[in-house]
Amino acid sequence: MEKIILTGDRPTGKLHLGHYVGSLKRRVELQNSGEFDKIFIMIADAQALTDNADNPEKVRQNIIEVALDYLSCGLDPEKCTIFIQSQVPELCELAFYYMNLVTVQRLQRNPTVKQEIQMRGFSDDEENQNKKGTPVGFFTYPISQASDITAFKATTVPVGVDQAPMIEQTREIVHKFNSVYGETLVLPEMVLPENTTCCRLPGTDGKAKMSKSLGNCIYLSDSSKEIKKKVNSMFTDPEHLQITDPGHVEGNVVFTYLDAFCTPDHFAKFLPEYANLDEMKDHYRRGGLGDGTCKKFLFNIMEEFLAPIRERRKVYEQDIPQVFEILRKGSEVARAQAAKTLEEVKDAMKINYFADKDLIAEQAAKYKAK
């Protein structure tokens, strides 16, 4: 069986360091591993519209931002198909049929959907003051996500932990479809990021998650100056007032980021006083190591991997029409693949009436016999 990857992001903002460690880095590695027959990377604009109905312009503006972030991180249009969800209408058609295989009650139990309904103020609970209600499209997005995955016969879906319920839902739909209509759809596996710090990079302010609305992000497109400013204002240890004071590394964002990014090579290059992070942490705990030194070290490490990303982004920014052309071509390739799967689905469901010689003959015979 072919090994196929499908994954994607909602275009609601530029991608940040949290996206990079949580998913982009892995995707580029998987792409370059040569282990996969096909890789589809989707800009999920239709899904983004399920909770941005009042702000379609935000989604429209961010398509190019996400595409630029993809390309600058090293996703290579020669090796993977980058496409825009809304340009593959077959996905909607698949979702429409899958809707009959999922109950409202099942969707209501989806933990990610539940949490997102609360976070977005859609809930109609007693406590919720504005009672906006939940858009039906939003409520059913796990089904649409099952179409995204199955349309490409994806075997492998690299995502963050918050997406686990979507993959589970997809697997249930695949089982149900195949048992009702016969073996047609491919059962996907989810792959999570390896390192747990990587799953969840905190914001620069120490809050659990990097998020645009909290204003605590480091963007892949940030300039060197912006990164320096953000690193220098990072949350550290509020009890570490004098350099000589003992310090805490737990909950200290600078050290969380060092955990995620630094290697012994970085010490040799930028901070040869220590052989590794453990030695550096010990010194910080004892007292005598200042936040300024730690931040400067972190900045050097981040610059080392962000500078080439930034440079590549600049090149693509100079030729935006070409980037749209990459997306157009990718969408064409994706559409052909999704159309093929849709045909197979409709065949399995026996709703391909005009291609169904048996049905026509059968009906003709019935009326002849009358």
Give the binding site for ligand TRP (CB under 6 A).
6-10, 44, 47, 145, 148-149, 157, 159, 163
The nearer residue to ligand TRP, 9 or 65, going by C-beta atoms, is 9
The nearer residue to ligand TRP, 9 or 222, going by C-beta atoms, is 9
Phi, psi of 110 (to 5 degrees): -65, 115
The nearer residue to ligand TRP, 169 or 236, going by C-beta atoms, is 169
Contacts of 352 (CB under 8 A, 6+ apart): 343, 346
- Give the C-alpha separation, 357 to 153, whole Å: 27
CB of 12 to ligand TRP, least distance (A): 9
Residue nearest ligand TRP by beta-carbon distance: 44
CB of 81 to ligand TRP, least distance (A): 14
CB of 289 to ligand TRP, least distance (A): 38
CB of 325 to ligand TRP, least distance (A): 23
The nearer residue to ligand TRP, 7 or 52, going by C-beta atoms, is 7
CB of 44 to ligand TRP, least distance (A): 4
The nearer residue to ligand TRP, 190 or 254, going by C-beta atoms, is 190
CB of 52 to ligand TRP, least distance (A): 12
CB of 89 to ligand TRP, least distance (A): 15
The nearer residue to ligand TRP, 160 or 287, going by C-beta atoms, is 160
**Which of 67, 165, 44 shows the shortest CA–CA distance to 114?**
165
CB of 365 to ligand TRP, least distance (A): 45
The nearer residue to ligand TRP, 145 or 155, going by C-beta atoms, is 145
CB atoms within 10 A of CB 191: 15
The nearer residue to ligand TRP, 199 or 277, going by C-beta atoms, is 199
Contacts of 70 (CB under 8 A, 6+ apart): 15, 24, 41, 82
